[in-house]
């Protein structure tokens, strides 16, 4: 409980964000630059696996820093990539009507599930990955909403933008130092 409160305090002290939408608790994956490795299979049950669908716009561009705001497009399926059980997307839809709305969050501070933090910390702008997030790095054995407990998550994630890194206070720096990345 204290960790969640500190994460909330840290996040709100960095920026005055709007309340997070329901989809703010999502996932992703990562391990090597797209120019070096295009496919990373999971080695253990608690590891991410991914395929780079589109390489980054500039392979030498920076990856997000911890506590940096990123903007992404994503789609989430429960059964397989492009499967029948698509349950969320930022790209908009016809039924029910939903306008495209890229998702923004601070990476590496626990605003999203660990699978997304780990993925996006290693992506570059313009890169798209298909990521399989095991339950241990997603919603766990309990699940949430339409996501059953123990379910692996199938995400297609595109890193659209890195927002400029904001100055952080000494208190926020201490929080980062004492709280490992999710």
Q: Is 5's pLDDT higher than 70?
A: no
Q: What is the pLDDT of residues 159-178, one digit of tens each?
A: 999 999 888 889 988 988 89
Average pLDDT over residues 59-67: 93
Q: How far apart are alpha carbons 89 and 77 in whole angstroms?
A: 9
Contact of 50 with 40, CB cutoff 8 Å:
yes
Q: Is 98's pLDDT higher than 50?
A: yes
Q: What is the pLDDT of residues 82-97, one digit of tens each?
A: 888 888 899 887 667 7
Domain 2-171, CATH number (from 3.10.50.40, 3.40.50.720, 2.102.10.10, 3.40.640.10) = 3.10.50.40
Number of H helices, E strands in the chain: 3, 7
Q: Where are the domains of the chain?
A: 2-171
Q: What is the pLDDT of residues 113-154, one digit of tens each?
A: 999 999 999 999 999 999 999 999 999 999 999 999 999 999
Q: What is the pTM of this model?
A: 0.73
Say how many CA atoms lie within 13 Å of 87 toward its Cβ.
17
Q: Is 66's pLDDT higher than 80?
A: yes
Mean pLDDT for all residues in the chain: 79
Residue 123: the pLDDT is 96
State which H helix or E strand residue 120 sits in: helix 114-120
C-alpha dihedral, 136 to 73 to 93 to 18, nearest 10°? 90
Residue 34: the pLDDT is 36
């Amino acid at each position: 409980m204290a960790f969640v409160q500190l994460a909330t305090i840290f996040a709100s002290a960095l920026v005055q964000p709007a309340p997070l939408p329901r989809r703010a608790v999502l996932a992703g994956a990562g391990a090597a630059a797209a120019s070096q490795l295009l496919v990373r299979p999971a080695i253990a049950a608690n590891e991410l696996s991914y395929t780079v669908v589109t390489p980054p716009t500039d392979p030498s561009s920076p990856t997000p820093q911890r506590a940096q705001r990123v903007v992404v497009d994503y789609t989430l399926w429960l059964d397989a990539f492009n499967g029948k059980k698509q349950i969320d997307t930022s790209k908009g839809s016809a039924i029910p009507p939903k306008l495209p709305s890229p998702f923004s969050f601070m990476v590496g501070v626990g605003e999203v599930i660990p699978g997304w933090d780990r993925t996006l910390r290693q992506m570059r702008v313009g890169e798209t990955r298909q990521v399989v997030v095991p339950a241990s790095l997603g919603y766990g054995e309990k699940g949430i909403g339409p996501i059953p407990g123990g379910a692996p998550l199938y995400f297609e994630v595109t890193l659209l933008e890195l927002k400029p890194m904001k100055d952080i206070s000494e208190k926020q720096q201490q929080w980062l130092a004492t709280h490992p990345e999710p």
